[in-house]
Amino acid sequence: MSTLTTPHRPSGAAPHRPYRPSGLTWTVLRLHRTALYVWGAALLAAVAALIWLLAAGPDARAIVGGCDASEPFPIDCGTAHWTTTARIHASGLALVSACVTFQIYAVAVWAGAALTGRELESGTARLAWTQSVTPARWLATRLAVPAVLLTAGTTLAVLLLNWTRRAGRGDLSGGWFTMNVFISSGPVAVGYALAGLALGALAGLVLRRALPAAAAALAAAYVLHEVLDGFRMSLWPAETVTGRAALQLPHGTLVLEHGAVTGAGERLSNNMACVGTDSAAALERCVERTGLTDFWTTYQPESHFWPLQLVESGLLLAVTGLAAAAAFALLRRQHS
């Protein structure tokens, strides 16, 4: 008679199990893996598009189709070449820039609906709190994990965007002061993503339901985005010049206000008389004809790009910190 036996295991030894990731970080990644896949796919698509634009560069016309130089209108042919190249680069850069600029809305909606709102509505969060996970630690992990991923991914996209703009004709996508270019060219892009995350998480904790939290987070992100866009050029002191310098500003300058002074000393705002005169004689003739005595322009030069970026980034980080602090305070009050 034979019997089945099991291998001898030392007393007190734990059974061998294959390694599996565990912990709160892994739980967050597993619960929100769909959002992670979508974010990863979007980032890969943006990186691939920017690398293609960077590599294609001046040869884009050869990719989209050549133009026979023997055609009877070679000048028009060259124009078609340039137009095609410009359109490819402008459209590609504008598309990726817009995705980076407006990602705050997607992040805020997801954070409000799925990251906190749905888990509170379904009871998943309360279940976690009964398994030796404090509410504060639960929230900290849900904010930290996506914050790291958003910071890394957005930074990569911004660096590639700037590289692509410098390698080609960056002005095709707009001046440095246009909303999409400004936000997608510096740390402001990361600030918007983190602000959307914090605002969404706070909305989820306040409303504790997925759909209302998503709507509230979207509204908060919209208000923040529009307010900062409206006051952006007021975040750093502008420069004012008078005389002929007010009529011939450096390339890349954003004119905020331009005016003239009459012979009676009256200041006329938004008066574009004599703008663009190319010589002292032409300016003198224009002054005699219009009866003006002086000109002035208030503007933001391109050199103010980084001061404006840093100030706006600081405001966004302040909003992020306040929203996160409010979320923790609300959670502590609810479970004290």
pLDDT tens for each residue of 21-50? 557 788 788 888 888 899 999 999 999 988
Asked whether the predicted pLDDT for residue 59 surpasses 80, the reply is no
> Are 173 and 319 in a shared domain?
yes
pLDDT tens for each residue of 192-243? 999 999 999 999 999 999 999 999 999 999 999 999 999 999 999 999 888 7
262 is a domain residue: yes
Asked whether the predicted pLDDT for residue 15 surpasses 60, the reply is no
Asked whether the predicted pLDDT for residue 324 surpasses 80, the reply is yes
Contact 283, 274 (CB under 8 A): yes
As a whole-number percent, the residues of the chain with pLDDT over 70 amount to 76
pLDDT tens for each residue of 263-272? 766 677 776 6
The predicted structure's pLDDT at residue 115: 87
Mean pLDDT of 84-92: 72
If pLDDT is split at 50, 70 and 90, which confidence band does 64 have? very low
> Which domain, by its residues, includes 174?
27-62+83-232+305-334
If pLDDT is split at 50, 70 and 90, which confidence band does 259 have? confident
> Are 130 and 270 in a shared domain?
no
> Are 175 and 312 in a shared domain?
yes
Mean pLDDT of 180-201: 96
| pTM, entire model | 0.82
If pLDDT is split at 50, 70 and 90, which confidence band does 279 have? low
> Are 137 and 216 in a shared domain?
yes
Q: In what order do the strands lie in the sheet with 239-242?
A: 239-242, 292-300, 254-262, 267-269
The predicted structure's pLDDT at residue 132: 74
> Are 200 and 288 in a shared domain?
no
Contact 110, 28 (CB under 8 A): no
If pLDDT is split at 50, 70 and 90, which confidence band does 276 have? low
- Tokens 């705050």: give the residue: 104
Mean pLDDT of 268-296: 71
Asked whether the predicted pLDDT for residue 301 surpasses 50, the reply is yes
Tell me the backbone φ, ψ of residue 19, rounded to 5 degrees. Answer: -70, 135
In angstroms, the CA 24 to CA 317 distance is 25
Count of structural domains within the chain: 2
Asked whether the predicted pLDDT for residue 14 surpasses 70, the reply is no
> Are 99 and 143 in a shared domain?
yes
Helix (H, G, I), strand (E, B) or coil at 259: strand
The predicted structure's pLDDT at residue 293: 76
> Are 155 and 111 in a shared domain?
yes
> Are 47 and 91 in a shared domain?
yes
- The radius of gyration of the chain from alpha carbons, rounded to an integer in Å, stands at 29
9 is a domain residue: no
Asked whether the predicted pLDDT for residue 303 surpasses 70, the reply is yes
> Are 194 and 296 in a shared domain?
no
277 is a domain residue: yes
- Compute the half-sphere exposure of residue 98: CA atoms within 13 Å on the CB side of its CA: 8
The predicted structure's pLDDT at residue 326: 95
Asked whether the predicted pLDDT for residue 188 surpasses 90, the reply is yes
Q: How far is CA 41 from CA 35, 37, 38, 48, in A?
A: 10, 6, 5, 10
74 is a domain residue: no
243 is a domain residue: no
Mean pLDDT of 97-104: 94
> Are 36 and 143 in a shared domain?
yes
238 is a domain residue: no
The predicted structure's pLDDT at residue 70: 41
130 is a domain residue: yes
Least confident of 71-85, 178-192, 201-215: 71-85
